[in-house]
Structure 1
Amino acid sequence: PLRYFFDNKLGTAAKFAPGSSFLYSDTNYLLLGVIVERVTGRSLPAVIRSNILDPLQMNETYYEWRENERGCGLAHHFMVLNDGQNHNVVAERLASSAEWANGGMVTTVGDLNCFVRALFTDKPVALFAKGATRSLMLDVTQSAKTREGMDGYSTDGVKYDAYTFGLERRMVLGRHECWGHSGFWGVGMFYFPKSGVSVVFTHNQVVQEVDKHLDEFVKVLDGLETLR
């Protein structure tokens, strides 16, 4: 992925001066993957498996094209390509991986829920040796937050009011703070720290309607007084 980036001269013209604005990019995750492999001397999938997946018993999660398939098989999902047709990505064996450190993992909502809860509650297993690491990840003073020049939108139109070190902060329906991340394949995982509720969902059509789905889930939870 990095070789493609440099070969196509994608890094020759910055869109703005450092610190003056914000634009979501996968490049930083590719660089982070290189750092992880250089520091550990192991492949990124191996590090993630030994440090995260195995301790949390996320037994149905794996790196597509880089690890053996796990679980009961892929759910069929669809994407409209340049020909205007809605293609079955699984049946046509199209490469659905965002590739390496910036994506490309296959999982289930159950495994993803386990991950997001461990990320914020240290249960069933603590992912951080030092709590200060998580605090740094959630520090909005060091992040891209909603202000002039940093409008809180990613390049795909997904709205959040702050993007920290790999995490989105959202205020759902204007009053419920949650943290998490959305995914290209219609996936969302979010944790509401005030109530301790986690919301994880997916669907089989590539569309950017994460905000709409999250709003609807929260309306239901509001009605049940779950988030109060």
Structure 2
Amino acid sequence: MPNRRHTLTALGGIVAALALSVPAANALTDDSATTGTTVARSQDTFKGRTDAAVRKSLKDLVKKDGFPGALASLSDPGGRARNYTAGVGNLKTKSKVPLDGQVRIASNTKMFTATVVLQLVGEGRVSLDAPIEDYLPGLVRGDGIDGHDITVRQLLQHTSGLPDYDEEVVQDYVAKQQHRYFEPREILQFGLNKKALFAPGTGWSYSNTNYVLAGLLVQKVTGRPVGEEITHRIIEPLELRHTYWPGLGDQTIKERHPHGYFAAAPNTPYADVTEQDPSAGWAAGGLIGTPGDLNRFLTALLDGRLLKPAQLKEMQTTVDAPDLDTVGDGHYGLGLATFKLSCGGYAWTHGGNAPGYTTRNAVTKDGRAATIAVTALPTTLPAAEHVEAALDTALCTR
């Protein structure tokens, strides 16, 4: 999940950093419903306290924090799922938020990109401890930056010291950047034009630049576009029917979705940014998906369905990342982070922020999964904390 420094960045206001057909369910009167795929679903699965607590947390995100809409998807260890909504899906028409609607999942894309890199490691085509120079010679250069000194592991772990390019692609977002197309090497260069934050391996700082390089690495090794590799290696095998890599220049969201909104500062009007060019996120944040699909992906990943045991162990080997979450007790592995639970222990997580959408998700050791999405970026730290608290509520209330 993007750290606090990236969740709230001053750009003449407060802006979160970019990473950057749903099945019809029978709506209940509380705006929640069970859905079914290959596992029989039970209306009794989320009875009582969990159901009421999740509904209240979403309503509070709308009424108290001002998010236009909110969505949640929960699943239990048996795969039984329940979806919830609050608020409106369109501020003009006041239409309902679609259950398990598509959103821009932003930095959750990093989990997919890291998984592909680790699959290539398992195939013997990439070495985690090789310098990125071995795969992209002459590309990674700058002030205190040299590709000979930065390993593949350090890119995936955010310990490379490479600066983030995020400010360049969100500054004056609605006026200048919303519909602008960026080439991957263009956004990479935004990061490389800055001075290194620290020597590789001596610190931790969340940087989208790392994952643009990871995407370029995938393309160099496979000879195919990174979006195609993510699709063939992850999305199709897991049958994530509502998750996709947007085509070149595609600014729309294909299936049923809530509109996404952007405000540059607290107490300012929302602009509709549902249609936007996702290229600024690319391998760091370009995917579109649903909360339910994110739960299915995270569950499958941690069940070992995508990675060999050795590579999954590497992914879950973490370093301290104290500014990763709002409780200041974060740890980050290789495209996967920890989320401290109020009910004890940790869950595995990532999360994502893109103009218009914020997502937080996690899966526990015993297989409970939850994803919370809201249809705007938080403009205050309390609002960001409340989104994380809603995720904790979904996983801890029993």
TM-score tier (shorter): 0.7 to 0.9
Does residue 73 of structure 1 match 2:256? yes
Aligned 1:52-201 pairs, distance under 5 A: 52-66=234-248, 72-81=255-264, 84-90=268-274, 93-96=275-278, 98-122=280-304, 126-128=305-307, 130-140=308-318, 143=319, 145=320, 152-154=322-324, 159-173=328-342, 175-184=344-353, 185-193=357-365, 195-201=366-372
Alignment partners' CA distance in 2, 1:178 and 1:217? 11
Report the counterpart of residue 202 of structure 1 in structure 2.
Answer: 373
Report 1 or 2 for greater relative contact order, CA contacts < 8 Å, sequence distance ≥ 6.
Answer: 2
Alignment partners' CA distance in 1, 2:211 and 2:291? 23
Alignment partners' CA distance in 2, 1:76 and 1:24? 28
SS in 1 for 2:237: coil
Cα pair 2:369 2:395 within 8 Å, conserved: no
Cα pair 1:182 1:210 within 8 Å, conserved: no
Give TM-score, length-normalised by structure 1. 0.79
Does residue 213 of structure 1 match 2:395? no
Give the CA deviation at 1:5. 3.5
Give the CA deviation at 1:101. 0.7
Alignment partners' CA distance in 1, 2:327 and 2:193? 24
User: Identity of counterpart residues, as a percentage?
Assistant: 27
Give TM-score, length-normalised by structure 2. 0.47
Relative to 1, partners in 2 of residues 1:97 and 1:176: Cα closer, same or farther, differing over 3 Å?
A: farther
Alignment partners' CA distance in 2, 1:27 and 1:136? 21
SS in 2 for 1:186: strand
Cα pair 2:300 2:306 within 8 Å, conserved: yes
Cα pair 2:259 2:272 within 8 Å, conserved: yes
Alignment partners' CA distance in 2, 1:220 and 1:187? 14
Code of the aligned partner of 1:87: A
Cα pair 2:259 2:375 within 8 Å, conserved: yes
Give the CA deviation at 1:25. 0.2
Q: Structure 2: 5+ residue runs without aligned partners?
A: 1-183
Runs of 4 or more consecutive aligned structure 1 residues displaced over 3 Å after TM superposition: 8-12, 65-71, 156-160, 208-211, 216-223
Alignment partners' CA distance in 2, 1:191 and 1:221? 8
Relative to 1, partners in 2 of residues 1:159 and 1:108: Cα closer, same or farther, differing over 3 Å?
A: farther
Cα pair 2:208 2:284 within 8 Å, conserved: yes
Report the counterpart of residue 226 of structure 2 in structure 1.
Answer: 44
Aligned residue pairs: how many?
Answer: 207
Cα pair 1:189 1:201 within 8 Å, conserved: yes
Give the CA deviation at 1:15. 1.7
String of CA shifts for 1:5-63, please: whole Å, max 9, x gaps. 32x57444112222332110011111111111111111111111110000111111112
Relative to 1, partners in 2 of residues 1:96 and 1:159: Cα closer, same or farther, differing over 3 Å?
A: farther
Alignment partners' CA distance in 2, 1:190 and 1:9? 29
Alignment partners' CA distance in 1, 2:297 and 2:249? 19
| Structure number, greater radius of gyration | 2
Relative to 1, partners in 2 of residues 1:196 and 1:14: Cα closer, same or farther, differing over 3 Å?
A: same
Relative to 1, partners in 2 of residues 1:220 and 1:46: Cα closer, same or farther, differing over 3 Å?
A: closer
Report the counterpart of residue 214 of structure 2 in structure 1.
Answer: 32
Code of the aligned partner of 1:2: R
Relative to 1, partners in 2 of residues 1:191 and 1:211: Cα closer, same or farther, differing over 3 Å?
A: farther
Give the CA deviation at 1:96. 4.8
